[in-house]
Amino acid sequence: MFSALLWGCLAVYIVIRLCCLGTLGGGYVAGFGASQLSLMVQRWLDIDTIKRLFYPFNVALFPGPSVYGQLLSASYVTICGALSWKLFTRRLNIPMALFLLGWMATAIAPIFQLWGIGLNLEGARFYFFMSVPLMMMAPLLLLEPPTIAAQNRQNPDALILKLFACASAVLLLVMVKITAATDMEWVRSGRELKQVLQQAQALAQSHPSGRIVLFAIPKDRSGAHQILNGITFLKALKNPFMQKNLDDRFVVFDPIMFGPDQLINAERLKRVEAGRDFAGSFIWSSKELKFAPLTPGAQASRLQPSRRPHSPTLEPGFSADTGALDLTVNPVSQSWLPHTSGHAQYNIQGNEIELIRPASGDGVQIQSLSINPNQFDFLTFQYKADGVPPNAMWRVTAEGETSSETGGPCLATGAIKPSAVYRNASIRLSRYWRWFTNGAITSLTIEPGPCAKVTLRNLQVIPAQMCAPKLSPKSVTENGAGFIELRGADNLALLLDRGKIPGATGFQVEVGKPNFFFENFDENSNVDVVKERILVASTGGATASLTIPPETFPTAGFCQIRARCVTRSGEPIGEFSDTLTVKVIR
């Protein structure tokens, strides 16, 4: 009877779970579930997760080997030795061991999508239920009273118990030490979050009107989660957390739900800063625990045209027609410097620079620049590469005049592929918010990563209008978190502009699947995030209008939209626009 009651409860739970989550297996679906599944096999084969279950060292707090690891190893060896002795002498309770292993398996099964523990113990909370049978295993198997037959034989159980007691005491003391250090980071994280909200409230009071742009809202402190997305931050600025709702005063560029926190929608930032109600930009300092204004010099350099549109020590290469800045190779200029750790060999011939056997840290650094980030978006060049490993990436570091004051330079990446002939590379610098927070850009460092040989030529810094269309909403604006709300039968009216992209005659607009976010999937993810593609022809110049009916968004959730230019034959050309995010309310 009791067993039937438990089975009945299980059946009710399964029905409720299916109705709420729409799945019987994993708890995450849509974009988040797909991103988890794409890496699931890799994470299950990662032996470091097993290691962190027994050696829970937060890398941010314990970066290298320590005596605590040695003490844990000694304790585990002692306990495993005692269990092995009981198994060898046939006094180990095999049914109990199998029961505990089965218990662990049932605790692991629901987290098959989320398997994995990060370097700073991210995700460790998912193993809480599994840790119960794991911790019970040694005491139950070693402290079980011996049978009558075993009691009549001479056995070393007393010695085993003493060794187990000593090992357990050492294990307990070490675990208390290392887990207390991790727990304190959560305490400090909470204090910082409290300060973030208080400082935001103070900003709203000191700037009684206008919209305030905030950068670098803290996401993580040594593995302790903080404010993971913009919606969470703006929710914390409303009742009941605040006496007065302040969420409409702030503009943030954090992920809508989840995603890379270093990315930004550059077009949206430019629209906000160009608005009449723009009140200023501030960046969070975890060191000083306050929102610091972007320094007047940095703000002026970013919002106003640069006094030096190109480096005076480079060949003058600024084109007023296209807005491109040529970074002409100049072997006699001190602006072109090898950025090397002593590995690569460098050859310069004409407008080409060749790196032979570059290793990690090798590249080219271009100095004496003064680039206005609001005027330029992409670094483009042509390259040939040999001996490139799979999944290799370009690393482009942009140093600004205030990088040391605003938390560091901008680091952008892009895929590098092996090629015997020159191919084009386009790295979107303005995709990263640090491109906009360091004032005028004073140097660019380009690193190809380890390979046999790479040759670069025709380096340029260009505005988005030369390779990516502009996609903007008509008659509506995004809220502070960065999305547009669509209710009921509302249409979505969009404006497209192909700028100065050569060969472009129209647009291809992509509408993403509900709750799939483009930035969470790259070309290697093998996940199709596009629900619908719409071709739009340019009529009367470089612009076009598009009205998306509500039938395109049949279910509630977040949908993203982006555009790409196409040629007369319908072939895609150039790069994608920045995305628009829509929250569909049904």
Which pLDDT score is estimated for 264?
93
Decide: 311 and 319 in contact? Cβ < 8 Å.
Answer: no
Q: The tokens of 372 are what?
A: 């206005």
Q: Give the type of residue at 478.
A: E
Which pLDDT score is estimated for 50?
86
Q: Give the type of residue at 343.
A: H
- With b for 16 or more beta-carbon neighbours within 10 A and e for fewer, the 386-421 pattern comes to eebeeebebbbbbbbbbbebbbebbebebebebeee
pLDDT in tens, 194-242: 999 999 999 999 999 999 999 999 998 888 889 988 899 999 999 888 8
Which pLDDT score is estimated for 205?
92
Residue 514, CB-side half-sphere exposure with 13 Å CA sphere: 11
User: In degrees, to the nearest 5, what angle opens at C-alpha 131 toward C-alphas 129 and 137?
Assistant: 125
Determine the Cα–Cα distance for residues 422 and 416; give it in Å rounded to an integer.
Answer: 12
Q: Was domain 325-464 assigned CATH 2.60.120.430?
A: yes
Determine the Cα–Cα distance for residues 10 and 12; give it in Å rounded to an integer.
Answer: 5
Q: What is the domain partition of the chain in residue ranges? A: 1-38, 46-181, 192-303, 325-464, 470-585
- Burial class for 370, CB neighbours closer than 10 Å (0-12, 13-18, 19+): middle
Secondary structure of 163-216 as H, E, C letters: HHHHHHHHHHHHHHHHHHHHHHHHHHHHHHHHHHHHHHHHHHHHCCCCEEEEEC
Determine the Cα–Cα distance for residues 88 and 67; give it in Å rounded to an integer.
Answer: 31
Q: Was domain 470-585 assigned CATH 2.60.40.2550?
A: yes
Task: List the chain residues with pLDDT less than 50.
Answer: 31, 296-316
- The dihedrals phi and psi of 220, each to the nearest 5 degrees, come to -155, 140
Read off the pTM: 0.81
